[in-house]
Structure 1
Amino acid sequence: MHLFCYLNVIKTSVRILCTNQAKPIMKYLNVAEKNDAAKNIAALLSRGASTRREGLSNYNKIYEFDTTIFGQPARMVMTSVSGHLLNYEFVTTYRAWQSCHPVALFDAPVVKQCPANYDNIKRTLEREIRQCQGLIIWTDCDREGENIGFEVIKVCTDIKPNIPVYRAKFSEITAASVFRALNTLGQPNKNISDAVDVRQELDLRTGAAFTRLQTLRFQKVFPDKLSDKLISYGSCQFPTLGFVVERYNAIEEFVPEDFWRIKMNHTMKDLTVDFNWKRDRLFDKNACEAILDICQENPQATVEEVESKSKSKWRPLPLDTVELEKTASRKLRINAKDTMKIAEKLYTQGLISYPRTETNIFPRELNLVPLVEQQTVDNRWGPFAQRVLNEGGPNPRQGRKSDQAHPPIHPTKYANNLNGNEQRIYEYIVRHFLACVSKDAMGHETVVHVDIADEKFLAKGLFILERNYLDVYTYDRWNAKEIHEYRVGETFMPSNLSLAESTTSPPKLLTEADLIALMEKYGIGTDATHAEHIETIKTREYVGLHENIYFVPGTLGMGLVEGYNRIGLEVSLAKPNLRADFEKDLKLICDGHKNPETVRREQIEKYRAVFGIVTERILEIDDSLGNRLEDRPRPLENEAIPQDDFRPVMKCPKCNGDLVIRNRKTGTGKYLSCTSYPQCKNAIWLPVSIDTIEVLEESCNICGPTVKKLRVKFKHNPFLGEPNPNTICIGGCDNIVLDTLNISASSVRGANRTNAPSTNRAPTNNRNVAPNQSTLNNWVTGSNRTNSSSQPSTSTRQATSNDTRDDANASLSYSNAPTFPMPAQTARPTQTVRPSNPGTSNSRPRSFLDAPTPRGQQGDVANGPNANVCSCNQEATLLTVRKEGPNKGRQFYACPNRSCNYFAWASESEPNAMRQNAAPHANAVRQNGAPTIGGLKCDCNLDAAERIVSKDGPNKGRRFFCCPKPMGEGCRFFKWADDVNGTNGNDNGHDPYNGPGGAPNTSWNSGGGGGGGGNWRKKNTNWKSKKKTKSTGTLKPYNKNATQRKPKTCGICRQEGHIRTNCPNQRN
């Protein structure tokens, strides 16, 4: 029995233990905006029991404590950031001021990343979140705070993507407020954060673009005055500067005018009452004197009306940020920047509510009585606070503005240990709070209307009955004014009736309070940024302070604003219109009424358009600056920078960033660089033979809209027979372009396309190309294309991605060859080039339509006095054949730059030799389209086409049969007509595959000789693919063990070892 009970106890204990282990204590990471806020919030939530430990940042500590959340015990880890954790920056490629034209910054890629000095804060969050099961954001509840919260969320969710996220909403750091926030956790507002992201990105783009434009230009135009100046631009800075300049110009342009008024007063029992003339003033002295004469003729005054009414002076509205800044500047002589800095410190200490608010309405649920009671202990305003409680409690005057985030600024705790400006700011906030929750000042006003000779005068008197809020609010005045007791119908003689002369006065210079009021009126910045913008224009020396109170524009600021205003009011950067519209859009984003991407795109286009106008009319700003700086602007030569620089060419296949064109550091040549460098090191090095390159707006139809075409001009054109400059695509759709420019396919394919298409397709541009030596030596054409065109093309001869080819002799693919003759492409004798693999089709087909005039017919250089000048009009280079064969050791002339296909044997002195190489080949013509004799079939199982050799030589006029398909598409079938008929019509015994020119068929690139050997191989010739070598662009035969043909024999003497061009019998 005892054993049974013992077992039950053990089972119960195990069950309890398992139950406790099944519900582990949740751990939450809490993040505040500043360390002081984290410290105070932790102290309040833990009731002073939190423990502190160090984070990776020396300025952001970690506080741990236990509390209850969602009805369950939880472990809280409280830390902080220091404002924005992530900032928008241009990618590395665009950060240098000279890296691109400023207009490129409107489209340049931007990234939001952590600055190096905040990296320890980021690492702290990453470390702590790994051990937590929830994230609570305690940043300030305004736009910037919401965005900072989402920055924290991004860092943490990068480590734990599915971690629950909560938002604590509070307006003051007090026990009641933070516990209320913890018990009513919600979700962060993405709309508000998006608005900040849009603003930050636009400020970055517009600020950087205009700042670079202004600074780089004006430093050169005015080197004596501005060589070391940063001439910054900000979309809020310049309108703020514009207000100062506008007021200054109004004063400068003010023309004073004299005016006159009739002055009348009445003295009785040592009390003088001044009466005001109802006409106020006249600018005509004669008229005023005439009226005065009439009054003096009958000076008796008659009281026509006496008004007696109650008068109130309203207590102030609840305090918002703008009013705090204005009053502190006007009454306390503390500038807005210092005011906000002090207010934020008081807030983090828990002494006041959040100081950045647009609200001037106290919410009904906010209990104001305890806030007033806290202030009763002070000997300066304590009695007044007690009076407020005794007279019915706080009754605040209500305004009309609310940001739905924070209540008006008010004290949250009594403090008597402050000093200096902190004490003055805190005292103002307390007195303002007590004044707004008390009663209006009450008085009695008397207005007396009198008549003298039909001219009306009036006087006012004020008697204060109850001062009320004025007893505590020492920053306001309401002075009583005594007046005699007048009755209707009473008459009296004026003590003084005379003419007073005065002059109109100009408006006063703006004070900081005036400037903030204008910024708020026109929507420039927010209550949180007014002080920052004002401080910036002071730091840049755009404005200065007169008597440390009034703003006066500097010469630089005046010149800039006047210059921009000359460009046009509708686009002037010194006017508030652009920024005010943007601020409205941001408000709509916050409210969820506008899409942030739409606003971002529209605003960028607006500022881009303004930028274009500014660059077009920049000389007007030069003139305005020159007038103000008293310096003559220096003209700049070649100042225009191509607008296409740094326009993305395509997406990087490695990281999906942008590939843009950059200049090499050596100054010669260009390359494509990834904008994500140094994170991504993908680069495409372009040949130094490129003279200019331009990114077009046109996209490649094959590669997609993200791949732009390029207009390239070469110093020496590698695309033979094509125009220069040329339009090409390097996105990977054209293997020939990639191979010719030596671009690795892996550098451009991936994000755009994994492979070039294997089917025939239209070319990416209408480049007209001549046949190339690596594919064709002798172009065989027919006089009639009926037969070949009637046969469907089932394949296209194309280059593979593994082809190794010379940059000036890239293998081309052919489709539907034309009927007209094409220029010969004589290959370099020192190279060996294989034909394109007919089994592959990775490259696009090339069109030969509208081929250019053959170089040999374009002003034959051989007709000149020097036969050794190539088609580029450069002196040809003397080279020697090194390949084994009958021409080994023989010298020949070729183009020194490999730009043209000029070729001539050194031993041939006749100009015709060079012309023959340059002239178009027409080796054979079709015999009236006669396809067959006796049903002869080619290897494609098609009726063989009969043709006639038309090239000069021993085989001229001889008939032969070949594949009827266009060149490069069909098989390599060949038979002499004599052989088909059973006779040998070849007198000289020449093999048709070894032409009479003597070029051996083991090399396709050994020189054409006088007759130019044909490039056709027998059908059993075996070619194998060979991989591309890194060292050279030379193509070699793929089967070194191919059967060697017997040596060629001379066409004259029938002897082996030489050919007809060097036959001794030829000379005889």
Structure 2
Amino acid sequence: MPKILCIAEKPSIAKAVAGILSGHTAQVKSTASKYTKNYEFNFDFGPPWGKSQVVMSSVAGHTTSYDLPKEYGAWANYPCSIPFEAPCEITIDDDKKAIAANIARNAKYSQVLYIWTDCDREGEYIGTEVRDIARKENPRIQVKRANFNNLEPNHIIRAACNPVDLDERQAAAVAARIELDLRIGAAFTRLQTLKLRSIHGIDPKKVISYGSCQFPCLGFIVDRYHKITRFVTERFWSIKVTHVRDNVPVVFNWARNRLFDRMAVTLLFEQCLTAKKARITKVDQKPTRKFKPLPLTTIELQKKGSSYLHMSSDAVMKTAEALYQKGFISYPRTETDQFDKGMDLRGLVQKQTQHTTWGQYAQGLMDGGFSQPRDGKNNDKAHPPIHPVICAQPNALSLDEKRVYEFVTRRFLACCSSDAVGSTTTLTLLWGNETFSASGLTVLERNFLDVYPYERWTTNELPLFREGEEFEPTEAQIMEGKTSPPTFITEPELIGLMDANGIGTDATMAEHIKTVIDREYVFAKERGGGGGNAAPATRGRGRGRGRGTRGGAAAAGGEGGGGGTGVREFVPSTLGLGLVEGYDDMKFDVNLSKPFLRKEMEVKMKQICEGQKTREEVVRESLAMYREVFDKAEQQIAVLRRVNSIILNLRRLLTFD
């Protein structure tokens, strides 16, 4: 009987898959790692292996790290640019050596290595880490991977019986990014720390870190801050017309909206008063629809989770990951907003008919209300949109899990519903030479709105007006106001900007936001509330690895973080402001705090995945781009120091005052 070694990305996935494939009869054995266990059972994979002896185990995120050799850790002995040139080495982390030993020991006597990592770029790379450890012990072992995106039993069994090859191109793209992040981050981190630490009085054990994704993220926050602080308020005037009919006050909005010349508004208003009567020149009635939402992507989950659920994007992703690992929702990292036409959506709706809250609505869809979801413009060809896999009753979930699961499920049911239908009435009013308008809405069919309370569309009917009729307005007056500055950038806005500018991936944006907070470059606070507290920066010299959620014990089942009570907005700290303004003052052709350098790097990563470039080409080209900027920054480091000193002293004065 063949022996097959199955390795999942996380202990929870290994446990779930082993339970499904073994019919919950697997023998559980401990390993030398506190994170992982081995599950032993038999399973019939079909051709070519048939019934096989299986050992199912896992890693806990990344097992290896890219790093510079230890001798380069003595910063004083080398120029800050040394990370661009020094060799890189791949090592197994100390806390992962027991995991690697477990893989090697079981691979020695196995004919097949079966990878069960997440089906995305990072998962492919983690799969190659596992493969390399196994092949070092058993060079002849055959390597396959399971292609799965949820933990529904039939789906897992199909994945086990239909293996595919690891995608070497996607793994190469991740390897390129890890090496680039290490080299670029280590070089700039050394430069910033050595030159700015004394100015800001930073603890010698801490560093002023640089990241090619985190800095553009910081740049967006600082840009909004400058728009606020440099905003000049202006006074404006407008004309407001109100007419009461059938005891309903109807407000007509001025077509000019507002003018910044009080005298001009006064003259126009006097012309209206001279005319006395106003005339309805047009009554426009037409049907309208409020479109149901598109299928759910990771970006949309993070944005809506922040604005609707009032949770941080990082907490939303950790909670979604926990729901996925428990088998309640599909894989939560996807760019796809199109459901495959062959997917059994009605079957998924049917499962929700048992839910105590929206079960009746789901039953209505099964009884004839089902409508095929809209198609968005994105399809990553890897994972479907995020959707519920099984019906999870509220008592089976934690508070945050309940909120995220409810949103995912209500979004899915809304996608499978009909658009809301209504009728709009628009009145056009001519008073003197000035045009005004008023609009009303009658909601005729709520449809998806009945299950999706996150969007509002309410009836606001207008009294009856006839085209050509004249009347003297009940009330008219000149309104005075003043322009207001923009607000601090919110988390949904920041995620939208990062997405539009190619900063990070849909799965890493929340982590980049968390990083700039952890490094105390920005402070997070709830909109309308007081200032937030940033966690102290604790990173030492940079190490190259993958997403933080795949790097250690947290991946093995650490806590996911809680939600808040309002939408978060971000304010730059003195250090964050000094870094961005300092680099701005260097007048680079391509600024470090702008998204262009990182966006170009992300384009190159996609070219690796598409076979247009090799990993070596991308690393060489990207390092050349950043090395040019680094050399200029080093030459003008006095500018960075001067700007940070000025900002620090100014803020001290303002605080003292």
| Length-normalised TM-score, structure 1 | 0.56
Deviates more, 1:364-373 or 1:246-255: 364-373
Q: 1:216 to 1:277 in 2, by over 3 A?
A: same
Aligned to 1:560: 579
CA distance in structure 1 between the partners assigned to 2:650 and 2:102 by the alignment: 54
Q: Structure 2 CA distance, aligned partners of 1:538 and 1:419? A: 26
Aligned partner letter, 1:477: R
Counterpart in the other structure of 1:415: 392
Aligned-partner Cα distance in 2 for 1:491–1:569: 63
Higher relative contact order (Cα pairs below 8 Å, separated by 6+ residues): 2
- Confirm whether residue 231 of structure 1 aligns to residue 208 of structure 2: yes
CA displacement at 1:588 relative to structure 2: 1.3
Q: Does 1:126 align with 2:104?
A: yes
Give runs of aligned pairs for residues 83-482 of structure 1, distance below 5 A.
83-220=61-198, 222=199, 224=201, 229-416=206-393, 417-482=396-461
- Rounded Cα–Cα distance in structure 2 between residues aligned with 1:409 and 1:192: 22
What letter is aligned with 2:416?
V
Task: Show structure 2 runs of 5+ residues with no match.
Answer: 533-567, 652-657
Query: Are residue 30 (structure 1) and residue 3 (structure 2) matched?
Result: no
Contact kept, 8 Å, 1:262 with 1:497, in 2: the verdict is yes
Q: Any gaps of 5 or more consecutive residues in structure 1?
A: 1-24, 633-1068
Q: Does structure 1 residue 43 correspond to structure 2 residue 45?
A: no
Q: Secondary structure at the match of 2:585?
A: helix
SS at match of 1:377: coil
Which residue in the other structure is 2:477 paired with?
A: 498
Give the conservation status (yes or no) of the 8 Å contact 1:396–1:437: yes
Counterpart of 1:780 in structure 2 is none
Report Cα offsets for 1:719-776 as digits up to 9, x if no partner: xxxxxxxxxxxxxxxxxxxxxxxxxxxxxxxxxxxxxxxxxxxxxxxxxxxxxxxxxx
Give CA-to-partner distance per residue, 1:800-831, whole Å, 9 cap, x none. xxxxxxxxxxxxxxxxxxxxxxxxxxxxxxxx
Q: 1:589 aligns with which of 608, 611, 623?
A: 608
Tell me which amino acid in the other structure corresponds to 2:237.
W
Letter in 2 for 1:603: S
Q: Which deviations, in whole Å up to 9, do the C-alpha atoms of 1:692-724 show, x marking residues without a partner? A: xxxxxxxxxxxxxxxxxxxxxxxxxxxxxxxxx
Structure 1 stretches (4+) deviating beyond 6 angstroms? none
Query: Which of these residues, 495, 507, 510, is aligned with residue 486 of structure 2?
Result: 507
- Give, in angstroms, the shift of residue 36 of structure 1: 0.6
8 Å contact kept, 2:523–2:572: yes
Structure 1 residues 507 and 223, CA gap change in structure 2 (3 angstroms): closer
Aligned with 1:570 (options 589, 601, 608): 589
Select the residue among 8, 19, 40 that pairs with 1:64: 40
Secondary structure of the residue aligned to 2:141 is coil
Pairs within 5 Å for 1:763-802: none
2:200 touches 2:575 (CA, 8 Å); kept in 1? no
Give 2:183's aligned amino acid: R
Does residue 1:602 correspond to 2:610, yes or no? Answer: no
Q: Distance in 2 between matches of 1:50 and 1:156?
A: 23
CA contact (8 A) 1:369 1:394 kept: no
Pair 1:350–1:554, CA change in 2 (3 A): same
Amino acid at match of 1:123: A
**1:950-961 pair list within 5 angstroms:** none
Any idea what the Cα deviations from partners look like across 1:868-907, whole Å, max 9, x if unmatched? xxxxxxxxxxxxxxxxxxxxxxxxxxxxxxxxxxxxxxxx
Tell me the distance in 2 between the aligned counterparts of 1:313 and 1:476. 10
* Counterpart code for 2:645: G
Question: What is the CA distance between 1:227 and its match in structure 2?
Answer: 5.5
Q: Give the drift of 1:565.
A: 0.7
1:611 is the counterpart of 2:588: no
Match for residue 549 of structure 2?
none
How far apart in 2 are the matches of 1:140 and 1:432? 23
CA distance in 2 between partners of 1:470 and 1:613 (Å): 55
Partners of 2:149 and 2:607 lie apart in 1 by 23
1:235-269 deviations in Å (ceiling 9; x for gaps): 01111010010000001111111111111011022
> What corresponds to 2:559 in structure 1?
none
- What amino acid is aligned across from residue 85 of structure 1 in structure 2? T
- Aligned residue for 1:79, secondary structure, equals strand
In structure 2, which of residues 475, 498, 512 is the aligned counterpart of residue 533 of structure 1? Answer: 512
Contact 1:313 1:441 in 2 (8 A): yes
Q: Tell me which residue corresponds to 2:646.
A: 627
Q: How far apart in 2 are the matches of 1:231 and 1:422?
A: 35
Q: Give distance in 1, aligned partners of 2:605 and 2:158.
A: 30
CA distance in 2: counterparts of 1:237 and 1:210, whole angstroms: 13
Question: Does structure 1 residue 484 correspond to structure 2 residue 463?
Answer: yes
TM-score, structure 2 normalization: 0.91
Matched residues in 1 for 2:272 and 2:205: separation? 68
User: What is the Cα deviation at residue 367 of structure 1?
Assistant: 0.7
Residue number among 498, 501, 519 corresponding to 1:519 in the alignment: 498
What displacement does 1:299 show? 2.2
Q: Which moved more, 1:68-77 or 1:318-327?
A: 68-77
Q: 1:392 Cα deviation (Å)?
A: 4.8
**Aligned residues, how many?**
607
Distance 1:462 1:578 in 2: 47
Partners of 2:625 and 2:10 in 1: how far apart?
36
AA aligned opposite 2:374: R
Tell me how far apart the structure 2 counterparts of residues 167 and 551 of structure 1 sit (CA, whole Å): 41
Rg larger for? 1
Which residue type is aligned with residue 299 of structure 2?
Answer: V
- Alignment CA distance shift 1:392-1:474 (3 Å): closer
- Per the alignment, in what secondary structure is the counterpart of residue 436 of structure 2? strand
Q: Which amino acid aligns with 1:69?
A: F
Query: Structure 2 counterpart of 1:565, which letter?
Result: D
8 A Cα contact 1:351 1:411, kept in partner = yes
Q: Where does residue 712 of structure 1 map in the other structure?
A: none
Partner of 1:795: none
Is the contact made by 1:368 and 1:394 (CA closer than 8 Å) also made in structure 2? no
Q: Tell me the CA shift for residue 76 of structure 1.
A: 1.3
Cα distance in 1 for residues equivalent to 2:404 and 2:465: 46
Give 1:585's aligned amino acid: K
In 2, distance between residues paired with 1:290 and 1:371? 64
8 Å contact kept, 2:442–2:461: yes
Contact 2:369–2:418 (8 Å) recurs in 1? no
Question: How far has the Cα of 1:459 moved from its partner?
Answer: 0.6
What's the CA shift for 1:622? 0.9
For 2:486 and 2:638, locate their aligned partners in 1 and report how far apart those are by CA, in whole Å.
Answer: 32
Q: Which amino acid aligns with 2:170?
A: I
1:31 & 1:252 partners in 2: Cα distance? Answer: 53
How far did residue 28 of structure 1 move?
Answer: 0.5
CA distance in 1, matches of 2:400, 2:200: 43
Cα distance 1:625–1:526, how it changes in 2: closer, same or farther (>3 A)?
same
Residue 223 of structure 1, CA deviation: 6.3
